[in-house]
Amino acid sequence: MTEDILNAINRVKVEQSYLAYVALSNLTADVQGLGFNSYRIAILRNFTIEPLIPVIKGEAIRYGLAPDIYISDFDAIAESVMNESSDLYKKNPDIIIIAQWGEGVSPALSSRFIGLSKEEVDNEVSRIVSTTKSWFSEIRKKSNAPVLINNFISNGIATLGILDYQSDAYQKHTLSRLNKYLLEMSKDFSDIYWVDLCSLFSQIGYTNSVNEHTWQTARAPISKNALLQTGLEFTKYIRALNGKARKCLVLDCDNTLWGGVIGEDGLDGIRLGNDYPGSAFINFQQECLNLYNRGIILALCSKNNETDALEVFRKHEYSILKEHHFSTWQINWDDKAKNLCRIAEDLNIGIDSLVFVDDNSFECQWVLKQLPQVEVINLSKEPFNYRNELMSFGFFDTLTFSGEDKKRSQMYVSDNQRKVLLKSASSYEDYLNELFLEAEIGRANKDNLSRISQLTQKTNQFNLTTRRYTEGDIDRFLNSNDMDVYYLKLKDRISDLGLIGVAIVKYKNSLAYIDSFMMSCRALGRGAEDVLMSIIIQRARKLGCNNLIGTYIETNKNIQVSNFFDKQKFIFIEKIDNVTTWNLKIELNSIKKYPKWIIVKENNL
Amino acid sequence: MNSNEKKLKKIFSDIFKIEENTVDENSSVDNIESWDSLNHLNLILALELEFGISFSEEQTVEILNYSLVKLVLQEHGVSFENG
């Protein structure tokens, strides 16, 4: 990355200002030449969305994408969607954003509500639901791109004043009913995501968010105070859809998880308790714990004596966070950038999976400079703001939340126990034998679809093609006659690792193609990938295929699997740019035996 | 150069995608090609956010060149004096 772009990204991170986004978005043409993945964003709108564009472009660049934006004509949502040869479809977008302003969609519900009969209100609500539904079904006929669409925000002051809230039939309730119907209706379609502007604007405040003056003069309703956050509310989805959600929260200790300095103030002297400021630190710890329960890995990076800092988690009665919540820590006097690298290495995740939180702006600046891949939250001096500061960027936001997530952070803690076992075992194979590994492999079904899509979006290192799929994509694969989606679950005597491997195979004539093959990092080194490959070969043979084609698409993160097919006895065919193709002749003796330390259970094969 | 002057030139440069050193007292809607109605809206937003002020409706339509922008900013207490 060039210095210019790096500086512009850092300026956005530090200033979080509109102008910083404008400056970064001005470099869009530069990043297009730099190997950033091109990302086509089509925006359909009924209001002036242009002021938001620098934020959308800037964020996309921050995620390593080269944004290519198409904006429809004003008020041309229906026209673009319904017309098969519209520019929308010609652009073949990676994502479609429908940005709609309620007053434009329904002047009746927005400003003339009091003049309508109950029947007219109901008709207007059903009209909007059915129009929106027709958009979705048209889009889905022509495009699989995820759709982001915003809900309707509630008006400032209702015509009926204080009376309005008293009846379900009045304005505010009608709008929330409309939002609810729209949400329910869209469940019939895949990959429709509702951007909850209604909740964002109530957080910022209606009068702060909406600028009546620019709405009436330029059809630009979003005020300067809400500009950044509105843009970010849309781009949070772009981050999640592109597998850029962060996995690990790395926390400083002093003045971050408690007030004061443990090494000086001691266990009784630090601020952590029911009275302010201690109460603010409890709130912040609670939010970290909530993230832990969402499956985010917690780690510590603090300049302290290790025993001093750990004592708080072990002994302090008000510390909600306990030692067992942290998967790893670097508590020493070394450079924090170095310590963050050690943490990533320890957890076997990328540096770009980390979010680092510290109250010390020197440490934050240093990390930003040394490790631009890390997202940094520099806490303000006001502990009561900490919780909001942690959550407002949506660094950890994902599109799904599965049972696996709840377990994940505990799994990383179990990994530490495995390390202990490994140290005591006489050989690696002994260690594997002692783990009592059990693999379950099967063809995917509706129940694990969400987790499978999530793995395709999040796995970077052991991933041979890095193709990202939404739940809608996977659902289509399941219903297709010429494809198989395999899942791999693994458990050992220490814990259940859950669904950690996915393979997608396409069949054509007598050839089988490995479209995707990936494993979560925490399951590596146990030979489970050999079992999965063996099952793929067995089934391809059963279906009458005589060759299995594998491709490896090199990214800057998956170098560790560059010789995977070689190890699996595939023959090298060709290399074009970053794509290597391999072939395996399917014969009886090409089926590999399972490693003897794994018990394999097959399901629905 | 006064720091507010520097800031103002940077805003012009970022919003209109022009070199900072080409911005001067004569810069206006007539000689900056990218100064269209949309970028005018972005200019207003950037000025308000960067200087922490709010323009009146009248002001937003009259600031069509660099000198007028400075004048209106001065009305909001932004100083362009040296030292």
Give the DSSP per-residue string, A349-392: --GGGEEEEES-HHHHHHHHHH-TTSEEEE--S-GGGHHHHHHT
For residue A595, the 8-state DSSP code is: P
- pLDDT-derived band of residue A299, with 50, 70 and 90 as boundaries? very high
B46–A50 C-beta distance less than 8 A: no
Which residue in A414, A471, A416 sits closest to A445, CA to CA?
A471
pLDDT (0 to 100) of residue B83:
57
A213–B41 C-beta distance less than 8 A: no
Which residue in A111, A99, A92 sits closest to A75, CA to CA?
A99
The pLDDT tens digits of the residues spanning A170-215 come to 888 999 999 999 999 999 999 999 999 999 999 999 999 999 989 9
- Under 8 Å CB pairs connecting chains A and B tally to 40
Which residue in A327, A249, A322 sits closest to A288, CA to CA?
A249
Report d(CA A289, CA A292) in Å as an integer: 5
Give residue for tokens 């204080």.
A162
* A27 to chain B: closest CA residue: B17
3-class secondary-structure state, position A477: helix
B10–A224 C-beta distance less than 8 A: no
Both tokens assigned to A10: 């850092």
User: A51 or A557, which is more confident?
Assistant: A51
* A28 to chain B: closest CA residue: B17
Put simply, the chain B residues between 58 and 77 with a CB less than 8 A from any chain A CB are none
Give residue for tokens 């207007």.
A124
Give residue for tokens 């054509």.
A508
B49 touches chain A (CB under 8 A): yes
Residue A297 sits at φ, ψ, to 5 deg, of -75, 135
Report d(CA A114, CA A125) in Å as an integer: 15
Q: Up-side HSE of residue A564: CA atoms within 13 Å toward CB? A: 28
The pLDDT tens digits of the residues spanning A407-463 come to 777 777 777 777 777 777 778 888 888 888 999 999 999 889 889 998 998 898 899
pLDDT (0 to 100) of residue A333:
94
Q: How far is B41 from chain A (nearest CA, A)?
A: 7
Residue type, A494: I
B38 touches chain A (CB under 8 A): yes
Average pLDDT score, chain A: 92
Chain B residues near residue A17 by CB distance under 8 angstroms: 49-50
For residue A412, the 8-state DSSP code is: H
pLDDT (0 to 100) of residue A484:
95
A163 pLDDT higher than 60: yes
Which residue in B15, A217, B38, A18 sits closest to B27, CA to CA?
B15
pLDDT (0 to 100) of residue B36:
92
Q: What angle do CA A605, A488, A582 make, to 5 degrees?
A: 85
Which strand (E) or helix (H) includes residue A195?
strand A192-195
Chain A residues near residue B46 by CB distance under 8 angstroms: 18-19, 22
A224–B49 C-beta distance less than 8 A: yes
Report d(CA A318, CA A258) in Å as an integer: 10
The pLDDT tens digits of the residues spanning A47-64 come to 999 999 999 999 999 999
Q: How far is A229 from chain B (nearest CA, A)?
A: 14
The pLDDT tens digits of the residues spanning A476-501 come to 999 999 999 999 999 988 778 889 99
The pLDDT tens digits of the residues spanning A94-131 come to 999 999 999 889 988 888 888 889 999 999 999 999 99
Both tokens assigned to B16: 């209109």
Q: Which residue of A22, A217, A218 is in closest CB contact with B14?
A: A22
A473 pLDDT higher than 90: yes
Going A398 to A403 to A404 to A409, the CA torsion angle's sign is positive
Strands annotated E in A474-541: 483-491, 496-508, 511-519
Q: Which residue of A17, A19, A50 is in closest CB contact with B38?
A: A50
Q: Tell me what ipTM this predicted complex has.
A: 0.86
Contact A90, A266 (CB under 8 A): no
Q: How far is B77 from chain A (nearest CA, A)?
A: 20
Neighbour count for residue A605 (Cβ, 10 Å): 12
**Stretch A22-35: mean pLDDT, rounded?**
90
B1 touches chain A (CB under 8 A): no
A260 pLDDT higher than 60: yes
B41 touches chain A (CB under 8 A): yes
B37 touches chain A (CB under 8 A): yes
The pLDDT tens digits of the residues spanning A237-259 come to 999 998 899 999 999 999 999 99
Which residue in A365, A377, A373, A488 sits closest to A437, CA to CA?
A488
Q: How far is B34 from chain A (nearest CA, A)?
A: 13
Residue partners of A107: CB distance under 8 A and separation at least 6: none
A532 pLDDT higher than 80: yes
pLDDT (0 to 100) of residue B1:
78
Q: What percent of chain A has pLDDT over 70?
A: 100
B49–A19 C-beta distance less than 8 A: yes
Q: Residue A588 CA to chain centroid, in angstroms? A: 42
A17–B37 C-beta distance less than 8 A: no
Q: What percent of chain A has pLDDT over 90?
A: 73
B48–A17 C-beta distance less than 8 A: no
pLDDT (0 to 100) of residue A1:
66
Contact A57, A29 (CB under 8 A): no
- pLDDT-derived band of residue A336, with 50, 70 and 90 as boundaries? very high
Q: Which residues pair with A575 in a beta bridge?
A: A580
Angle between helix axes A449-458 and A471-478 (nearest 10 degrees) is: 120
